[in-house]
Amino acid sequence: MKKMLVASLALLMASQAFAADPISQRKDVFKQYKPVVGAMGKMVKGDTPYNKDEFAKLATQLEQLSQQPWQYFPAGSDAGKTDAKTEIWSKPADWQKAIDNHKAATAKLKQVALAGDLAAIKTQFGATQQTCKACHKDFRKD
């Protein structure tokens, strides 16, 4: 009984340590971007039929995702298996500007998607992707 209690406690502590790992947490959020952006991109390119309601739903998801990963970049989380560049922590004003640009672009994409004008969506989708690329260029090891 005592061994089971100790093992259970060790497992609980390990799971809490993993849950508190900001690198894993931010990677999990960013992994959620891929299917959302991928489905949107297929509609924008014409690989799949454009569906106004589905695109708006995806744009809403993307806007929600754009709010999440930034909390998982606390000081000291640049060590370990991360693709984050040290510039995130050494240039916090630039990092915050990149975050703000991305959030603004995803919010605008959501608004444009709700209106349903495919030409405007294509333009804003491209602008939103540019905020991703800019951040990767300056703040991610590729």
**Which residues does the annotation place in the binding site for heme c?**
132, 135-136
Please give the angle made by the CA atoms of 9, 15 and 20, to the nearest 5 degrees. 125
Longest CA–CA separation in the chain, Å: 66
DSSP string for 52-84: HHHHHHHHHHHHHHTTSGGGG--TTTTSSS--B
Q: Per-residue b/e over 98-107, b at no fewer than 16 CB within 10 Å?
A: bbebbeebbb
CB 50 within 8 A of CB 43: yes
Question: Binding site: what residues are annotated?
Answer: 132, 135-136
